[in-house]
Structure 1
């Protein structure tokens, strides 16, 4: 059995990290066109760095919750019986990894990595970045967050497509169903006859495309679902 899990901001919300499109979400308080596009970075890199420095500090101060822990347990449980989990996240935090997940595909990048615009090197980065910070590889002061901004192509789309093509189950957890191409994965799964499940606090924008749904707080719904998949194994 191969399980494809897509996670979004809702899986980290109970760790204190804000979602994006709710009434009080991140984009209700900040303008993404001024903070989350290549054009915004070119026009005002100081403001963009400050925004992502804030988000990096918030992510590092947060702790994984029971939903993250349950998905790490799912990875271990499936592997133990010869099955596999592909965990694809839209989140840029590292809470899945800190909860114990070994293989996480960050399609929208990672807040704790920096990318050099001069040499292209990607390096772990847990401190503030800023326009005067130098690349540890080439020394150029041209670092940017290793994030996929609006107008950029998500990371690893070929791998995502391959994993989805071989999945026996597709589950979306804590996603808004509003950001493409991630929001279109459920339709792709359905076109292949793959069973689909939404786990969310409330129905997503694309909720009607799922075969089944489980609604409630991620810290309750995800562990219960993992118990079901693993047959109640601890």
Structure 2
């Protein structure tokens, strides 16, 4: 059911939150756009200006690795300046109130952790861009370590432990999804009684399968997104309004 207007949608969402025992939010890029972080798919999004660099290309080509890091450092002022928005803060309030056991996200910006979620309770399906990791041995690196070496040599650094390439701790096209995160997201979708998809186009698979899994496991499904999604017909409530305005009333004091 599509909410007729924002006020009606917020009221219905409030009732569903009050009735739910276990709420699992599933967030996409739309929740972070009010924080100044551009999304990827929309007109004017990052992928309309820069073709994504697939994982196999990153591994095979030093030029691709250099370009990937050049782009990442060019984005650093945007990520560094971003603060949790109303959507993040509302979900953190429900988490602190005991309604949300964990959150599943497609985002890589670390804003759920900054808003108050414990790191162990943020299930990152597409990784995290605020640090780096060796694709060979898994050694973690601060971005400052990478930038120092990149600036000194003009080249993306290799791991100090095993000499394999170092990459942002994100999941690129063609890279295997993180098994533990996928398993945890599956369990959360199966165990909740309210699943709320927020700011996701629901077109990136396998992540887009989690709302369906939750619905098929007996949960009520809410979709909050400015644009229609292919799963709207399955949802118990669809709110096509600004995410910050929709979730703002739930931020609390």
TM-score normalised over the length of structure 1: 0.85
> Residue 85 of structure 1 aligns with which residue?
101
> Residue 125 of structure 2 aligns with which residue?
107
Aligned equivalents of 2:129, 2:245: Cα separation in 1? 27
Aligned residues: 221
1:150 aligned counterpart, secondary structure: coil
> Residue 92 of structure 2 aligns with which residue?
72
Aligned equivalents of 1:132, 1:23: Cα separation in 2? 30
Please give the residue correspondences for 1:1-234 in structure 2 after superposition, counting only pairs within 5 Å. 1-32=21-52, 35-43=53-61, 44-78=64-98, 83-102=99-118, 103-125=121-143, 129=147, 130=150, 131-133=155-157, 135=159, 138=161, 140=163, 142-155=165-178, 156-224=181-249, 226=250, 234=253
| Deviation (angstroms), 1:170 | 0.6
Check 1:142–1:40 CA distance in 2 against 1; reply closer, same or farther (3 A cut).
Answer: closer
1:172 aligned counterpart, secondary structure: strand
Aligned equivalents of 2:203, 2:163: Cα separation in 1? 37
| Deviation (angstroms), 1:8 | 0.4
Aligned equivalents of 1:58, 1:36: Cα separation in 2? 23
Aligned equivalents of 1:59, 1:46: Cα separation in 2? 19
Aligned equivalents of 1:158, 1:93: Cα separation in 2? 21
| Deviation (angstroms), 1:140 | 3.9
Aligned equivalents of 1:114, 1:7: Cα separation in 2? 22
> Residue 10 of structure 2 aligns with which residue?
none
Aligned equivalents of 2:145, 2:93: Cα separation in 1? 30
The answer to whether the 8 A contact 1:88-1:105 is kept is: yes
**Root mean square deviation, CA, Å:** 2.2
Aligned equivalents of 2:228, 2:85: Cα separation in 1? 21
> Residue 11 of structure 2 aligns with which residue?
none
Mean Cα deviation higher: 36-45 or 153-162:
36-45
| Deviation (angstroms), 1:73 | 0.8
Aligned equivalents of 2:79, 2:202: Cα separation in 1? 22
The answer to whether the 8 A contact 1:74-1:85 is kept is: no
Aligned equivalents of 1:211, 1:133: Cα separation in 2? 49
Check 1:51–1:38 CA distance in 2 against 1; reply closer, same or farther (3 A cut).
Answer: farther
The answer to whether the 8 A contact 1:112-1:126 is kept is: no
Q: Which structure has greater helix proportion?
A: 2
The answer to whether the 8 A contact 2:105-2:125 is kept is: yes
